[in-house]
Structure 1
């Protein structure tokens, strides 16, 4: 089972094994993973994460990610709602600026 590590800034805030093929926004929706999200359909970017390690095992960005993230994809940003976890993954989701 893959392990997902969630960072906020430089601090590790959560580490969890997940079933292969898991979508983190689905887990967040049932309160089993502390990820911020919105629509869950690739339209709002509230679930935007930066992949720190393990991104090579993710599927290439789909058209929703390309439309919503554009140039940010080159910096390792992805939409968690569009990802299905198959290998260990380290991600960062910083708190929104208020």
Structure 2
């Protein structure tokens, strides 16, 4: 099972997830530790769930059109939309405390 390490507000949360898990879905049903994940629409329209991928990016698919539209230049800085990712390998993410521009 993939391990997810999630950094937010100076704290580190870690947990295992089943393969093909979406973290926004896990956050929505309050499964630890992902209720700490900031998100809103879950459909790639708002970019509230933008996270910086610190490790494991090589296992992710290429950004889809929603991520390209919402994140623009932030893609090059390692950001991805958590709502658009289905986790199949270990990953480490950080969600900055600042609100992301939509």
Q: Give the alignment's TM-score, normalised by structure 2.
A: 0.89
Mapping 1:32-51, distance limit 5 Å: 32=31, 33=34, 34-51=36-53
* Deviation, structure 1 residue 40: 0.2
* Structure 1: 5+ residue stretches without partners: none
Mapping 1:42-61, distance limit 5 Å: 42-61=44-63
Where 2:98 maps in the other structure, the secondary structure is coil
**1:78 matched to 2:80:** yes
| 2:13 alignment counterpart | 14
Aligned residue pairs total: 96
Kept after mapping to 2: 8 A contact 1:5/1:12 = no
Kept after mapping to 2: 8 A contact 1:48/1:93 = yes
**RMSD between superposed Cα atoms in Å:** 1.1
* Structure 2: 5+ residue stretches without partners: none
Which moved further from structure 2: 29-38 or 60-69? Answer: 29-38
Cα distance per residue 1:6-32 (max 9 Å; x no partner): 1126x4421000000000000000011
* Deviation, structure 1 residue 96: 2.6
* Deviation, structure 1 residue 94: 1.6
| 2:22 alignment counterpart | 23
Q: Provide runs of 4+ in structure 1 moved above 6 Å.
A: none
